[in-house]
Amino acid sequence: MQISIFSTKPYDQEYFSRYNTEHDLQFFQANLKQGTLNLVSGAEGVCVFVNDQLDKLVIKGLAKKGVKLIALRCAGFNNVDLEACKAHDIKVVRVPAYSPYAVAEHALALIMGLNRKTHKAYNRVREGNFSLERLTGFDLFGKTVGVIGTGKIGAVFCRIMLGLGCKVLAYDIHPNEKLQRAGVIYKELPAIFSESDIISLHCPLNEHTHHIINDAAIIQMKKGVMLINSSRGGLVDTKAVIHGLKHRKIGYLGIDVYEQEEQLFFEDLSETIIDDDQIARLMSFPNVLVTAHQAFFTEEALTQIAQTTLANISAFESGEALENEVKA
């Protein structure tokens, strides 16, 4: 089956080519959006990632070109208009799980980096500065960690934090009994906000969770709280968080995702003037650590992403049941 793969980087090409035996894959660096639809020529399917924009118009354009399958090579599907896909009889498949450990461990890396300031220590020592001034951290042992969303990634994250001796509170619309037995205490959101020293987001982005972290949520939080977002940028109202940082309410912010990341992330913009004032402001705080959507980026996850996506495409081509289908 011919598949146009968008937003590809050398590592995508490497892993997909390594595991592909059946399909005709065309790799495009460009994001899929209205202006790049023309790249789709003769393909029955497109393969997309987190920042491709599959809105109503793009879906309509894909349908006109004969596309029958959208294969997401990620778990989240907030960037796809599923109703439009249904209307045009386009199937959508995704990779529901690819190493939840990769993302959960990266959330821990953000916490550890912010807390023990290893990125700053590394630079200092390279400059011959062996001072410990302003590198003070805190013990994670005994701290209260609030986890919003305890699906595959959130569950792994909860267990990591329990292993470090933290008290773990969680909020999820479907509490997980196994986690409760392991010691996680489910509470409502106001309690998560007011009792946690660290809050980590692991729920999907949808109309209920958009800006779940906003002014009203931040007001309820402890002074000096650490906020970690490795899920989706839209969960956090960036303006509210900047306000919280400026007023010393938020003590630390670690983000692997950002509301307007599609203009920035995955590209080398080191010689470019960045127009986005919000990300520039965020990067100016000494207590903010930003990574560019790399939480998933492990060898194990890239392997699973390529293998599952190719299997999803093969299942569609041979008319088998689509176990990883996403429906409106």
Residues of this chain that interact with ligand NAD (CB under 6 A) are: 75-76, 97, 100, 103, 148-154, 171-174, 202-205, 208-209, 230-232, 256-257, 293, 295-296
The residue (of 43 and 109) whose beta carbon lies closer to ligand NAD is 109
3-class DSSP assignment, residue 127: coil
DSSP for 198-246, please give it. EEEE-SPPSTTTTTSBSHHHHHHSPTTEEEEE-S-GGGB-HHHHHHHHH
The residue (of 174 and 327) whose beta carbon lies closer to ligand NAD is 174
The residue (of 93 and 205) whose beta carbon lies closer to ligand NAD is 205
The closest residue (CB) to ligand NAD is 151
Distance, CA of 233 to CA of 215 (rounded, Å): 16
Per the CB < 8 A criterion, the answer to whether 27 and 7 are in contact is no
Residue bearing tokens 């980590």: 200
3-class DSSP assignment, residue 33: coil
Positions annotated as catalytic residues are 232, 261, 293
- Identify which of 154, 22, 11, 164 has the alpha carbon closest to the alpha carbon of residue 75: 154
- Identify which of 124, 159, 163, 119 has the alpha carbon closest to the alpha carbon of residue 141: 163
